[in-house]
Copies of this chain bind each other. A is one copy, B any other.
């Protein structure tokens, strides 16, 4: 949970900050495409409807320095955030469950662009096993053991039906997966040292509906 900052000292990055940084990054990339070289915290703040000092606080975690009266250098922001979030270091992942969502993730170039490389897919449906999507081969679950020896990946993406999530997670953990990215709404039990990150669109849906009806 500790982040090594540019002073060599240890400090924690707040999760909310971590979650906002990719949004900033996308915005900065768009600025760059439009030929804009500098941006101020207040511009960012108004774009994201937030407080300007929060923007500077967030950015300061990455070690980037803004210049008074000038703002931040867009190119530098992009490089710094990518580096800070480690979107530039390739990280391999296995994907379990090649249904609609799994397929979409495999097809989605965004993940690769941000460092996550899905190197193999796994499913139980004989109709998909041995097929390839975007040059990524789909294997039977049984093949996982062998494949996890040949190719190494630290991340398992779970996009199976809900009921299969725990079994797949157990399998992945048994074979040394370090982090599980769980796209099912199912809660998953893992040993202490394994990281689980849940992505639930239902949470977002709940927030939308709540805002809509109040």
Contact = CB atoms under 8 A, between A and B. Distances in A.
Interface of A: 1-4, 13, 15, 18-23, 25-27, 30, 47-48, 85-87, 91, 100-101, 103-104, 107-108, 110-111, 114-116, 154-155, 162, 178-179, 181, 185-187, 189, 195, 197-214
The 9 closest A-B pairs by CB, nearest first: A22-B202, A26-B185, A104-B104, A19-B203, A100-B104, A100-B107, A197-B208, A195-B211, A86-B209
Contacts of A2: 214
13 contacts: A1-B211, A4-B214, A18-B210, A22-B205, A23-B200, A25-B185, A26-B202, A85-B206, A100-B104, A114-B202, A114-B205, A116-B205, A197-B204
Contacts of A26: 162, 185-187, 202
Nearest to A91: B209
A150 B98 CA distance: 36
Given A22-B185, A23-B187, A104-B104, A110 B211 contact: no
